[in-house]
């Protein structure tokens, strides 16, 4: 894990305006030589930051940057009325925020971990989560629940609905959907994903790590590097977002949604889910570690399991898997003659 040195923070906050700053100007302000400034810049480059320039020409970020800041996040949370005690672990670079919180001891206080970049960001099914420096949200929260694991069935769906509520504030809700259980899509492109991991279970006590990645300020060039269609808030709105405000809103919504969930389970979320269910009535294949099932998605049951009507007319209730849309022409029923529409 890496934290910024005071000099690096000073340099980044200077360069954050997107203007060019000469090495001698920066050195004079910091009371260090131009060479020392260059050494610090090289360390920032190693974190994955793009900084144009040389000691002679000066340094410049390709675009303005607002760094994550614990104080700003806390102030925003207070504005939203959330003053509960919480511990914030904020880093310049980490392997994975989910992995980090696994090593933190269990606590009744909410533990939050955020970072500017992840070197080994993890997605579902062992996939890599691309985490370029300073552009997006990479955040995990460790929650302590005084209940059985069985009580938490459907939690992933509630997390997705909380992320959707957070993003709906930016006027983009008309095209936001959720692909069961936790892909947030905008016009079929992935905007956010979450990774929920249960890490301890004892007598009526469960710790859960909820990791959330939201593509915020990355430009579409970043999507080109990925194997599936992705998009960011910047792609949708052409606006630069202060991730501190977004993070505070995410924490606020998750806190609220999880409180409702703990007391009432999935019932209050069933109708909201139906309105944003991307898969509903589509022909899909659900891939699991050892098999796959194809059929028509028919929503979810009361515990959040996916209902899938297969080609033989059998309804399956499925608790996990990776769903993909399947062209209906490739599907046939038992006799091989008739296909789904």
Binding site for ligand BTN (CB under 6 A): 96-98, 118, 121-124, 127, 129, 138-140, 183, 193-195, 211-213
Nearer to ligand BTN by C-beta: 122 or 243? 122
DSSP for 68-104, written as a single string: --HHHHHHHHHHTT----EEEEEEEEES-HHHHHHSS
Show the tokens assigned to 21: 């700053």
Euclidean distance between the first and the last CA atom of the chain, given in angstroms as a whole number: 51
In whole angstroms, give the CA distance from residue 66 to residue 50: 14
Nearer to ligand BTN by C-beta: 40 or 277? 277
CB 132 within 8 Å of CB 48: yes
In whole angstroms, give the CA distance from residue 208 to residue 200: 8
Nearer to ligand BTN by C-beta: 21 or 122? 122
Least distance (Å) between residue 24 CB and ligand BTN: 39
Least distance (Å) between residue 336 CB and ligand BTN: 35
Least distance (Å) between residue 42 CB and ligand BTN: 27
Least distance (Å) between residue 133 CB and ligand BTN: 14
What Cα–Cα distance (Å) separates residue 338 from each residue in 80, 246, 263, 329?
55, 48, 46, 10
Nearer to ligand BTN by C-beta: 135 or 183? 183
CB 134 within 8 Å of CB 114: no
Nearer to ligand BTN by C-beta: 128 or 302? 128
Nearer to ligand BTN by C-beta: 25 or 197? 197
DSSP for 210-259, written as a single string: EEEEE--S--HHHHHTSSS-B--HHHHH-----HHHHHHHHHHHHHHHHH
Least distance (Å) between residue 212 CB and ligand BTN: 6
224 — alpha (psi -120 to 50), left (phi > 0) or beta?
alpha
Least distance (Å) between residue 293 CB and ligand BTN: 20
């Amino acid at each position: 894990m890496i934290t910024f040195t005071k000099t690096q923070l000073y340099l980044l906050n200077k360069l954050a305006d997107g203007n060019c700053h000469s090495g001698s100007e920066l050195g004079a302000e910091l009371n260090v030589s131009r060479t020392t400034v260059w050494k610090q810049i090289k360390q920032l480059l190693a974190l994955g930051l793009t900084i144009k320039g040389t000691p002679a020409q000066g340094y410049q970020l390709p675009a303005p940057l607002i760094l994550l800041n614990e104080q700003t996040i806390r102030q925003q949370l207070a504005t939203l009325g959330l003053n509960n005690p919480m511990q914030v672990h904020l880093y310049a670079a980490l392997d994975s925020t989910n992995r980090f919180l696994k090593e933190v001891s269990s606590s009744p206080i909410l533990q939050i971990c955020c970072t500017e970049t992840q070197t080994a960001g993890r997605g579902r099914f062992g996939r890599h989560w691309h985490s370029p420096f300073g552009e997006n949200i990479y955040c995990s929260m460790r929650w302590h629940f005084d209940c059985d694991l069985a009580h938490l069935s459907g939690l992933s769906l509630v997390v997705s609905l909380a992320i959707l509520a957070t993003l709906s504030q930016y006027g983009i809700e008309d095209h936001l959907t959720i692909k069961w259980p936790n892909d947030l899509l905008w016009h079929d492109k992935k905007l956010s994903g979450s990774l929920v991991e249960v890490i301890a279970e004892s007598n009526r006590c469960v710790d859960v790590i909820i990791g959330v990645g939201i593509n915020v300020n990355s430009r579409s060039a970043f999507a080109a590097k990925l194997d599936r269609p992705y998009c960011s808030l910047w792609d949708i709105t052409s606006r630069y977002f202060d991730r501190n405000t977004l993070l505070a809103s995410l924490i606020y919504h998750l806190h609220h949604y999880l409180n409702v969930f703990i007391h009432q389970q999935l019932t209050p979320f069933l109708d909201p889910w139906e309105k944003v269910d991307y898969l509903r009535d589509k022909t899909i294949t659900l891939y699991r570690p050892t098999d796959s099932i194809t059929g028509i998605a028919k929503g979810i049951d009361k515990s959040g399991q996916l209902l899938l009507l297969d080609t033989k007319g059998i309804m399956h209730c499925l608790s996990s898997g990776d769903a993909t849309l399947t062209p209906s022409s490739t599907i046939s029923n038992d006799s091989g003659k008739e296909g789904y529409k």
